[in-house]
Structure 1
């Protein structure tokens, strides 16, 4: 494996050449090695017309089976998986590759580095390896997202020319505008995996379904992805939505998350959490002010300890982006007559907003 592979040589031929070289080395009884073109060092690059350019010849390093058997195996395994993906025209993500062999690669950055090394060694773009970076929340199709300001409309995301990251801010803003390009029978298709999302785009999904808006949250969708999906499938837009997931329990769970939301912030208490609760219940201010023991503060701590779970405020986002403001806070403040301050004593002015 070396950088001298001609540019017009395809990836399959390059990988075949690597393994042929390995067989020849092993047959001759020599140490089996791989020639790798690593990432350029800072001293190897310079500024040319405002851009970073490599100015020194590319370096090569040897990965020896005898000296680094695990590292050697990692490179060979990834090349094998890349060969399969190119042969089958199947797009993979770096994340997929790592989670398929977590005990071999130990961490995601190991996969990331090796993939980039292979692309540089073969002198091809990473996309030629059928490997894409893992991202969070993307959409593609006849859709623009804009915000209105005092200076007019400003486009913050458009997917008409390909996959676009879903903006993480502004999706709950009152100034937001979702513009769907007019088509007959428009719809939203939510895809579980980003590899499948890219595969559909590569195979010209929009040539067959120009009215379709593809969305992916890469597994369990983040808040921005679910917020965008809610905007697209709720009035006034009200597009029909469909979900494409694996036919397994995990896939059905993901489908349920998209449809109903997820209380992902309901987390088991840790031993440290339990110690903290017990310590709080013995604090001096509870002992000096016995009436507090009748208030929600200690009761909530005891409920947490008995239930064994804690919940973060972000869990409310699962119900609706505005649930915290329009439902939870409104209900609590009304129950505590917060707006009738003249009817409350000074001591009453300090109270707790609790679940």
Structure 2
């Protein structure tokens, strides 16, 4: 078993040596800081109203690539001069969003003040008619987070302290189905000690916070196991470099040391994955791969760029489950052990 982790241990030492050159994580803001920031927003609105003027909220345009820059040691970071959208309470097109932001600020203030916990889902179901859809609330939460320069909705992950583990590595698994397969095949027993985690697809903030917290506490290699398709690559990049909409919180959510363990596009040919399990690209896949090819965090990594180029050229993809067509336990007893033993990550 010791020989299995020789390459992983070597990688761990390399990562630790590079920590001094990496940006340090920003400290979590205190409850009082959150309350003060909310009070400042409300105070500005009250002062504006007292002057018989219509109050305005200025919210950063989180969907614009022009508002972010790429910093290799952190990921996608919001620019200091990012453009904003003005939400006026007297404008029909923005009045509703203005009101929802104020409502959410009120909810968050009460939660923080009472040191209470609530998920986005909890907040939505407290007044579903007001918010309309969960998606609407999620967007408002992100806007408020950006406005306050913090993630104010309470998270059980933030309360986790004093993490101690003898794990050699963390394995991020894209899909819950694959995660369950690893458990069923006793992956953690066979390759213990290790930690496996899944966000069940595109990760939410808590999943990303948890991976970042594990990295900060343990400083062990973090690998990603995703489908060999454009969507899987993007999910891996969200863990590694963050997302466009949450670029303002990149220091707390990204783990730039994440390594791509599999399924690599080149693995499809290397392991002779059966043709009947290989899926042709859809138009959406082609659009997504073209977008990925133009992103700086892909072009700055030659090994990643070669894999993406191969996928784009062949116009085909494969899911992790396709390895089961080679042999039922191929993933857990051959593919992953060999990858870890011989340093098959990029």
Alignment TM class, shorter chain as reference = 0.3 to 0.5
Question: Which has the higher relative contact order, 1 or 2, with Cα contacts under 8 A spaced 6 or more apart?
Answer: 2
User: Greater CA radius of gyration, 1 or 2?
Assistant: 1
TM-score, with length taken from structure 1? 0.36
Larger proportion of strand? 1
